[in-house]
């Protein structure tokens, strides 16, 4: 490896382009090799942020005595060239490639110098600077779709994403990875599970809890695991791949309909509810806990539309019936996250009965997040069920909401929507309903 060298390292620092590989020597026998990534908010001008081989970021304080050597792009073990260009990826489109749809979110974000907060990026070049090893095991075609944080997503965006997934398979992808903000990643995963039909390969949502320009970001290892599952998974459904524990070595594969973000900041925040994850990925490969859905042979399609006239309301003691009733106004369907086995205060029976008579579809889930709802154990449940509330077994409130929008988009009348809600559309009901089964 050869390269140029500068006598004034601080001068050099200012002109180093993002993605440049460098070797730093302190003149006392220490050298550091890595790729220049965007500067961290609080790092001074003399701090050089480097992504080193392990995937971790290093903030190196450059002293006047140090030397900076520019290196050629890293040679991948499996490819002859350095970071791929758009042209290369276009050529690879016909080959066995994985499509990476970027949407923003922490996994494709960096610190914003103005606000000090984290802002999403969209540029391929910047994404590749964060993830220099992206194509270590084969070609990846990057398709920027959005550049926003996931709390800003709407159901319309879920439909757009579904279209992009189908298009990616149409261009020959063997699997699709969606880099997504973690905040609403589970909502999107559930929605895509209902929207995407006849998938010929895996659709893998992945995120990061810390942005890739920060030390110990989980982005590189999560993305590598997701790309691997998309490439080697050999199944045809929507999953989420994220850290299974605090190491960088074990990743869980969650079904899109059973997963939830259960911690605001830990890298192992995502959990499957009501049972184990679908499988795991680690150094030994991919192992499944239960059989994943087989890939379809026919072309994939989007089974839309979603109707956005659905809502989700979490019950709490003290919520006035009038407030809850007003929340439901103008909606065609409402998912309630009730207490326990699926209850709301009996003070709410009147407006629920009236709204159902006027055509509102009301579905019940539990805010416990684990276990099933069951209208037959308590008097309140019986009365709600008699009023026409549909009990949705072990569906998470978020999954039930995504399914409601899908069902509203497919069913003409309330009865039809209710029937669609109760049908097992995407393997979302994990438990067979067993009335009276001991807990």
**Catalytic residue numbers?**
106, 182-183, 261
Dist CA 203 CA 235 (whole Å): 9
Dist CA 130 CA 142 (whole Å): 13
Least distance in Å: CB of 174 to its own copies? 29
The binding track of 162-191 with respect to its own copies, each residue x by CB under 8 A or -, is -------------------xxxx--xx---
Q: Which residues of 351-368 are buried (b: 16+ CB within 10 A; e: fewer)?
A: bbbebbeeebbbbbbbee
Of residues 209-248, those binding its own copies (CB under 8 A): 209-210, 216
- Which CB, 32 or 327, lies closer to its own copies? 327
- Contact with its own copies (CB under 8 A) among 125, 250, 266, 301: 266
CB of 295 within 8 A of CB of 201?
yes
- Interaction between residue 346 and its own copies (CB under 8 A): yes
- Interaction between residue 152 and its own copies (CB under 8 A): yes
Least distance in Å: CB of 339 to its own copies? 4
- Interaction between residue 342 and its own copies (CB under 8 A): yes
For 285, the enclosing helix (H) or strand (E) is strand 285-288
- Which CB, 19 or 397, lies closer to its own copies? 397
- Which CB, 304 or 340, lies closer to its own copies? 340
Q: Which residues of 153-192 are buried (b: 16+ CB within 10 A; e: fewer)?
A: bebebbbbbbebbbbbbeeebbbbbbbbbbbbbbbbbbbb
Of residues 380-419, those binding its own copies (CB under 8 A): 380-383, 398, 401, 405
Of residues 49-88, those binding its own copies (CB under 8 A): none
Least distance in Å: CB of 384 to its own copies? 10
Which alpha helices (H) appear in 52-123, and where do they start and end?
86-92
> Based on the number of CB atoms within 10 Å of its own CB, is 132 exposed (0-12), middle (13-18) or buried (19 or more)?
buried
Least distance in Å: CB of 283 to its own copies? 23
Dist CA 327 CA 309 (whole Å): 12
- Which CB, 128 or 336, lies closer to its own copies? 336
Of residues 289-318, those binding its own copies (CB under 8 A): 308, 310-318
Number of residues engaging its own copies in binding (CB under 8 A):
79
Of residues 110-129, those binding its own copies (CB under 8 A): 112, 115-119
Who contacts 119 (Cβ-Cβ below 8 Å, separation ≥6)? 109, 110, 111, 112
> Based on the number of CB atoms within 10 Å of its own CB, is 305 exposed (0-12), middle (13-18) or buried (19 or more)?
middle
Least distance in Å: CB of 333 to its own copies? 12
CB of 238 within 8 A of CB of 135?
no
- Which CB, 97 or 267, lies closer to its own copies? 267
Least distance in Å: CB of 319 to its own copies? 7
Of residues 351-380, those binding its own copies (CB under 8 A): 366, 368-374, 376-380
Report the 10 Å Cβ neighbour count for 113: 10
- Which CB, 128 or 208, lies closer to its own copies? 208
- Interaction between residue 135 and its own copies (CB under 8 A): no
Least distance in Å: CB of 8 to its own copies? 32
Who contacts 140 (Cβ-Cβ below 8 Å, separation ≥6)? 84, 89, 97, 98, 99, 100, 134, 177, 227
Task: Read off the tokens for 260.
Answer: 């939830």
Of residues 315-334, those binding its own copies (CB under 8 A): 315-319, 323, 326-327, 330
Total count of residues recorded for the chain: 439
Least distance in Å: CB of 158 to its own copies? 8
Dist CA 155 CA 140 (whole Å): 27
- Interaction between residue 28 and its own copies (CB under 8 A): no
- Which CB, 172 or 304, lies closer to its own copies? 304
- Which CB, 9 or 393, lies closer to its own copies? 393
Task: Read off the tokens for 144.
Answer: 């920027």
């Amino acid at each position: 490896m050869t390269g140029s060298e500068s006598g004034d390292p601080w001068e050099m620092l200012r002109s180093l382009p993002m993605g440049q590989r460098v070797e730093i020597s302190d003149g006392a026998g220490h050298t550091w090799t890595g790729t220049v990534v965007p500067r961290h908010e609080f790092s001074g001008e003399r701090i050089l942020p480097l992504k080193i081989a392990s995937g971790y970021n290093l903030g190196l304080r450059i002293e006047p005595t140090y030397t900076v050597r520019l290196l050629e792009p890293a040679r991948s073990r499996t490819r002859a060239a350095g970071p791929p260009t758009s042209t290369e990826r276009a050529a690879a489109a016909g080959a066995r490639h994985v499509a990476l749809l970027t949407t923003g979110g922490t996994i494709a974000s960096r610190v914003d110098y103005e606000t000090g907060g984290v802002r999403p990026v969209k540029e391929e070049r910047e994404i590749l600077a964060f993830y220099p090893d992206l194509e270590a095991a084969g070609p990846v075609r990057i398709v920027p779709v959005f550049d926003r944080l996931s709390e800003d997503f709407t159901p319309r965006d879920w439909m757009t994403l579904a279209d992009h997934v189908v298009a990616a398979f149409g261009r020959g992808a063997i699997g699709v990875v969606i880099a997504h903000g973690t905040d609403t990643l589970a909502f999107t995963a559930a929605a895509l599970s209902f929207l995407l039909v006849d998938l010929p390969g895996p659709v893998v949502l992945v995120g990061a809890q810390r942005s890739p320009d920060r030390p110990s970001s989980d982005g590189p290892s999560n993305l590598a695991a997701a790309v691997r599952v998309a490439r080697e998974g050999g199944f045809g459904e929507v999953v989420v791949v994220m850290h299974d524990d605090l190491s960088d070595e074990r990743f869980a594969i969650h079904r899109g309909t059973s997963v939830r973000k259960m911690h605001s900041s830990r890298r192992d925040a995502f959990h499957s509810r009501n049972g184990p994850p679908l499988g795991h990925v680690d150094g030994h490969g991919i192992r499944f806990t239960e059989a994943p859905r087989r890939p379809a042979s026919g072309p994939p399609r989007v089974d839309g539309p979603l109707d956005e006239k659905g809502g989700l309301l979490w019950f709490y003691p003290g919520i006035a019936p009038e407030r809850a009733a007003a929340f439901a106004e103008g909606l065609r369907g409402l998912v309630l996250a009730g207490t326990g086995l699926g209850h709301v205060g009996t003070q709410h029976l009147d407006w629920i009965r009236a709204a159902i008579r006027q055509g509102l579809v009301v579905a019940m889930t539990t805010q416990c997040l684990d276990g099933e709802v069951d209208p037959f154990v308590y008097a309140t449940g019986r009365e709600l069920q008699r009023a026409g509330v549909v009990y949705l077994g072990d569906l998470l409130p978020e999954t039930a909401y995504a399914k409601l929008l899908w069902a509203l988009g497919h069913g003409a009348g309330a009865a039809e929507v209710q029937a669609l809600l109760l049908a097992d559309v995407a393997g979302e009901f994990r438990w067979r309903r067993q009335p009276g089964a001991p807990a």
